[in-house]
Amino acid sequence: MELQKVAADLEAEGIALYAISYDPPDVLADFAQRHRITYPLLADVGSGLIRELGILNEEAAEGIAGIPHPGVMVLDTDGMVTEKHFYESYRERDTGAGLLEHVFGIAAAHHGPRAQVASDVVQVQAELDASSYAWGQRLWLTVNLTIAEGYHVYGHPIPAGYVPLEIEIDLPERVTIGTPYFPTPEPFRVDGLDEQFQVFSGEIRVSMPVTFMSVDAGTLDVGGRITLQACTATECLTPDSLSFKLRLPEAPLVEMPKPRD
């Protein structure tokens, strides 16, 4: 379902999209018709190819034996695998936008809820990459900061007594967050001081995966607080804290192809 949302984006980039399932062709044809899937669904009855690719879920329950680990393989024009992104649990899934941006490096046309806050010299935009969540889905939370010209904010490591850029996320129950990805800060020195600083300036982007394992939880709020201290080469402003909240509804569960008898 998520792949269908970005099928046109992938096609526009010259990327062919296929999905492999252990279900028989008739089950996949019915599923594709009911959910308007336009890309090919390949039936690997008996899971032979799934085993050869090394993506068989060996711990799957009896009713779904033969199911692969969820994920994506990227092949080049010679049919060689150049990237693999898979999860241990069959419950976890990426969003279509997440696959576009974090696997292929293609900007997604559509995202989810967005919040904007600002201080005197820093503008913040926080957004999720989907307009709703589903059980087992992994969304990406992105925080974009625009720092006024002539200013910087501190990164890590930092000498004692200074306030670095920190992002703290408030999550509902049964929602977890992964390691945030920060850009690499630049070294910076202040005339007259022995310490060396690491700083961010201009526009920076911080992203982190958020996994939803909630069922029938309804609309959820994902909140965040950003603490920072903006400085020039000669002076620092008072440390600041900016908060945001993103409200995300729950998507209806999709009826998947039924396990075979």
Question: What are the domain boundaries of the chain?
Answer: 2-102, 114-248
Q: Are 109 and 125 in contact (CB under 8 A)?
A: no
Distance, CA of 249 to CA of 214 (rounded, Å): 11
Fold designation for 2-102 = Glutaredoxin (3.40.30)
When pLDDT is averaged across residues 1-22 and rounded to a whole number, the result is 89
Q: Which residues have CB under 8 Å from 19's CB, separation 6+?
A: 3, 39, 40, 41, 42
Coil, helix or strand for 197?
strand
261 pLDDT above the threshold of 80: no
**Cα angle value 94/212/136 (rounded, 5°):** 55
Q: Are strands 196-200 and 152-154 parallel, antiparallel or unpaired?
A: antiparallel
260 pLDDT above the threshold of 60: no
pLDDT on residue 199: 96
When pLDDT is averaged across residues 223-246 and rounded to a whole number, the result is 95
- At 254, is the pLDDT very low, low, confident or very high (cuts 50, 70, 90)? low
pLDDT on residue 107: 82
Positive/negative CA dihedral, 18, 24, 29, 35: negative
Amino acid, res. 15: I
> How is residue 151 annotated by DSSP?
-
Q: What is the pLDDT of residues 160-217, one digit of tens each?
A: 888 999 999 999 999 999 999 999 999 998 888 788 899 999 999 999 999 998 778 8
Q: Are 143 and 125 in contact (CB under 8 A)?
A: yes
When pLDDT is averaged across residues 236-260 and rounded to a whole number, the result is 81
* Mean predicted lDDT score pLDDT of the chain: 89
Distance, CA of 125 to CA of 93 (rounded, Å): 25
Report the greatest alpha carbon distance in the chain. 76
Q: What is the pLDDT of residues 110-120, one digit of tens each?
A: 789 999 999 99
Coil, helix or strand for 63?
helix
Q: Are 208 and 180 in contact (CB under 8 A)?
A: yes
Q: Which CATH class is domain 114-248?
A: mainly beta
Distance, CA of 131 to CA of 139 (rounded, Å): 10
109 pLDDT above the threshold of 80: no
Q: What is the pLDDT of residues 117-152, one digit of tens each?
A: 999 999 999 999 999 998 888 999 999 999 999 999
pLDDT on residue 215: 79
pLDDT on residue 48: 94
Distance, CA of 132 to CA of 113 (rounded, Å): 9
Distance, CA of 93 to CA of 254 (rounded, Å): 13
Amino acid, res. 47: S
243 pLDDT above the threshold of 90: yes
- Intrachain domains 2-102 and 114-248 with the same fold: no
CA distances 126 to 32, 108, 191, 256, Å, are 34, 15, 35, 32
257 pLDDT above the threshold of 60: no
Closest listed residue to residue 159, CA positions, set 101, 210, 229: 229
- At 88, is the pLDDT very low, low, confident or very high (cuts 50, 70, 90)? confident
Distance, CA of 251 to CA of 117 (rounded, Å): 27
pLDDT on residue 255: 57
Q: Are 125 and 81 in contact (CB under 8 A)?
A: no
Distance, CA of 54 to CA of 163 (rounded, Å): 46
Coil, helix or strand for 240?
strand
pLDDT on residue 211: 93
Q: How many residues does the chain have?
A: 261
Say if pTM beats, i.e. exceeds, 0.85: no
